[in-house]
Amino acid sequence: MKETVIKIQHLNHYFGQGQLRKQVLFDINLEIKAGEIVILTGPSGSGKTTLLTLIGGLRAAREGSLLVLGKEMCGASPKMLVEVRRSIGYIFQAHNLHRSLTALQNVKMGLELHEQYSVSEMLQKSAEMLELVGLGERINYYPDNLSGGQKQRVAIARALVSHPKIVLADEPTAALDSKAGRDVVNLMQKLARNQGCTILMVTHDNRILDIAERIIHMEDGQLTVPSLITAETH
């Protein structure tokens, strides 16, 4: 029986205060097991990215229960949010690489919350991860000298270098052509399976839905009934 790594019960979330308060998530209930690849779809403004940021500990949830790796994120302290973030890798629509840093230095940033590693260990692990994503010969390249697909591979390496238990990806293929997008998600799938981590991905890209075990749709801040993808569709 696989453990539950994300368990959400009756989650509501709001932006603003008083008369300006606007509810953006309504009674969200969701469980995600270890090793699952789950895709979250839905129109722009439906609350997908907000949900992702709450799961990722980028802000504290407001109301209900949001358990991530057994830790309650509703009303969590900044210290608790940082602790949970150590077990999560993030891949964003824009690769969010620092232009002044090499690929190696960008990936190393994914280890800087992990105090158990020396600088030399961080650099070694970062180089090994870039090798795994096919960029071993470009570790000293700056982002401006990499293609869009290569930049996103660096972002994947940065997200996975710490061997996170959960990877959260927000539109990771949006800026890529169909081949580069497919290569990127295949790489995410392969590395995540090798590391045994869970992937929750927000996407509008219908070309990559087949990598998921489950597709969940969100509209107007509410989840609709999840659909299962059978093994035959892979």
Residues 40-70 pLDDT 10s: 999 988 999 999 999 999 888 889 999 999 9
Higher pLDDT, 96 or 3: 3
Per-residue model confidence (pLDDT) at position 148: 85
Which of helix, strand or coil describes residue 145?
helix
The pair of three-digit structure tokens given for residue 5, joined into one six-digit string: 């790594």
Q: Does the pLDDT of residue 90 top 70, yes or no?
A: yes
How many Cα atoms are found within 13 Å in the side-chain-facing hemisphere of 70?
A: 4
Per-residue model confidence (pLDDT) at position 228: 47
Q: Given pLDDT bands bounded at 50, 70 and 90, which one contains residue 94?
A: low
Q: Residue 221 and residue 202: Cα distance in Å, rounded?
A: 14
Beta-ladder partners of 5? none
Per-residue model confidence (pLDDT) at position 112: 82
Q: Does the pLDDT of residue 134 top 90, yes or no?
A: no
Q: Does the pLDDT of residue 180 top 50, yes or no?
A: yes
Residues 140-170 pLDDT 10s: 999 999 998 899 889 988 988 988 999 999 9
Q: Residue 231 and residue 83: Cα distance in Å, rounded?
A: 35
Residues 168-179 pLDDT 10s: 999 888 877 888
Q: Does pTM top 0.75 for this prediction?
A: yes
